[in-house]
Structure 1
């Protein structure tokens, strides 16, 4: 008798939960109606890679093996150099077998890659640079011990140099569009000074002056021939490894269906040129809660927006 009661209660709760979830989705359509799958495009971008095997998802552990040709930002990766191949191989094995992190990053990348890649194209920066914020932050609003923040991990001084606002109530390092455009400005300048995109990518980790000094000291003009710190030496290869894995997730042991991927948010953009004394009340005007505003606008760092200068801010509102 007790078991029957428990079963009945469980059924009732599941029905209630299902109804509540359906009601919530009907009330607030968070995601874009058209499904996005970034992996189909990535397969085409890395068509030169030849997979030698697929990871066995059983108990047996074996290395992920690739051969063939590869490029980064349209520039050849010299995989015929054994040392270069081993540097890529190291990052491949680490990321292929760091399953929890790589799996979550794949899900998030499906949400953020389309917006980031669109900006890269508009700014004249190769699409492969979408892997830079991936390895910097994993598309999470993390803060490093050095104080770098946001997807692109700008420190405050660098952010301000690229005209990003950093203060207690507004921090545009967390604004995906503005921080991506700021990163593009840096990368284009670095490419102009260093001569190629691969060195520009590595300089994002080491710093532009540091990279220029090493190129001059070692009389080398390509990333793969430079002797660098371990972190910078691995930096571009971490991007390359993710490009390889994203080009064929199944071969790397990741079997994701379209329903497993996080979809881009469905939103409209409004402009604000005045202060907002209470963002909770501001959200309520649109039938939303505070968390809905912060989810899409994490650059708003407090429950208010001070705007005495009457700057124009764009706020994304869930639909």
Structure 2
């Protein structure tokens, strides 16, 4: 009998607790959701009504151009890890690149060409040995007009300021030749000679009318897609806080006109590690600076 009374008492207590809990939930407008399942959806993207590169409109009213543009938007939106990493790196490098583009007379949109080339990875050579943010080939970088030093000891393709200037020289020359920033960008991928021959052979003057190598046909539209996504990240599902973005420390510059026998010792003398020295000066390729010609080099030292 005592056992039955105890069970009855426990049952009544549980019932009263349940009633109290339901009343609390109701009064406080708390929703209890059971067995909710979420599914990941791959959604078709709506192509913006107006897209442009360097002020030159993308003719998405043409079905073939629309399809190619759609491909680049989809690929670069749904490659989420790469997209988010690029957005983080842009916060580190765009503040360096943007004033240089303005200084050298290039439209700001060309910073997205650097993204398409290297994904803003400074020290990540391509399979063809193109290096730096702007992915110069060794033979191209060594041309007199670009003035980049490239050897085992010093490789100025990794110098952001100097390589950006060299890219500007190339692109402005291409703009003068073709009369179009879009074709100038295409020639950065395929070369001025190849683009010029295709235009002449096909009797066209417009990038979107020309049949170009597949990589070049994708190239400019990839740049446009990157511009669209990076300019409107939340629209394409990229969500982040300011603190998530990558940064570089402020630096001061030391001008050197003589050899440095040991860069690790040089770094230590200036209160930093060899690793930090190389991070801010990736153009230094060895643990020494030969400088037999007594050339002036500018070395960045991070401030702490």
* TM-score relative to the length of structure 2: 0.85
1:265 is matched with: 249
Aligned-pair CA distance for 1:60: 1.6
1:149 is matched with: 131
1:313 is matched with: 297
Selected match of 1:193 from 174, 177, 181? 177
Selected match of 2:72 from 88, 91, 116? 91
Question: Which segment drifts farther, 255-264 or 121-130?
Answer: 255-264
Whole-Å separation in 1 of the counterparts to 2:236 and 2:141: 36
1:165-216 deviations in whole A, cap 9, x for unaligned? 0111100000001001000000000110111100000000100111111111
2:48 is matched with: 67
Question: Which segment drifts farther, 94-103 or 76-85?
Answer: 76-85
Aligned-pair CA distance for 1:58: 5.7
RMSD: 1.1
Looking at both structures, which has the greater relative contact order when contacts are Cα pairs under 8 Å and sequence separation is at least 6?
1
Whole-Å separation in 2 of the counterparts to 1:58 and 1:104: 25
> Does 2:252 correspond to 1:252?
no
- Please show how residues 157-176 of structure 1 align to structure 2 within 5 Å: 157-161=139-143, 162-176=146-160
Aligned-pair CA distance for 1:308: 1.4
Whole-Å separation in 1 of the counterparts to 2:164 and 2:109: 13
1:216-251 deviations in whole A, cap 9, x for unaligned? 111111111110111000000110111111121111
Whole-Å separation in 2 of the counterparts to 1:72 and 1:206: 18
Aligned-pair CA distance for 1:85: 1.3
Unpaired runs of 5+ in structure 2? 1-37
Whole-Å separation in 1 of the counterparts to 2:48 and 2:149: 45
Unpaired runs of 5+ in structure 1? 1-56
Whole-Å separation in 2 of the counterparts to 1:127 and 1:98: 24
1:139 is matched with: 120
Whole-Å separation in 2 of the counterparts to 1:85 and 1:254: 23
Runs of 4+ more than 2 Å apart: none
**1:62 counterpart SS class:** coil
Equivalences, count: 263
